[in-house]
Amino acid sequence: MKFNQVEKAVERVAGEYLFKIYEVNEKTSAAGNEYWQVKFETADGFKVCDNFMFSGKAANKTLGLLYGIGIGDGEAWEGLDPQKDDLLGSYVYINVKKQKDGDFFECPWGKSGYKQHTAQKEAPKKEVAAAPF
């Protein structure tokens, strides 16, 4: 068998990367709880995916993500009515880390792991011209 020409993969390390949210899926857990499955990608194709719940302790991670894209204060749900379209096309810096028992990367908990892209703060996400991709 002959291999096709492929680009060498870039080895990733834990750290902060600028991601664009390119897909948000509404799902329901086996226990009947609704959540969003959010997919992120960097300009050079590094992808991560994570689930964001709306109840219990796991909701803190969701509040952190919303804060990172400029929605809310990262602490409370009062006054928030996020829709999945609010996330699509948003840019956010994520401080990804490797999972404890594996080679996969995961997103952090809470608002400390998510930071807004400066262009996101200056203009609505659909009009961000300064973002790199």
Q: CATH code at 37?
A: 2.40.50
- Low-confidence stretches of the chain (pLDDT < 70) are 1-10, 110-111, 119-133
Full residue range of the structural domain in which residue 112 is found: 15-117
| Domain presence at residue 130 | no
CA distances to 20, 25, 30, 40 from 69, in Å: 10, 17, 28, 12
Tell me whether residue 52 is in a domain.
yes
Decide if 132 is inside a domain. no
Residue type for position 58? A
Is 31 within the bounds of a domain? Answer: yes
Residue 30: what pLDDT?
93
Domains contained in the chain, number: 1
| Residue 119 CB partners (closer than 8 Å, separation 6+) | 91, 128, 129, 130, 131
Within-domain flag for 85: yes
| Confidence at residue 6, expressed as pLDDT on a 0 to 100 scale | 60
pTM (2 d.p.): 0.78
Residue 125 pLDDT: 55
With CA atoms as reference, report the closest residue to 107 among 10, 35, 19. 19
Q: Is residue 125 part of a domain?
A: no
Q: Is the dihedral of CA 87, 91, 95, 96 positive or negative?
A: positive
Decide: residue 19, CB within 10 A, 0-12 exposed, 13-18 middle, 19+ buried: buried
Q: What is the DSSP letter of 2?
A: -
pLDDT at residue 100 in the model:
77
Instruction: Name the residue among 19, 17, 16, 59 with its Cα closest to residue 36.
Output: 59
The pLDDT value recorded for residue 77 is 85
Residue 56 maps to a domain: yes
Asked if residue 67 is part of any domain, the answer here is yes
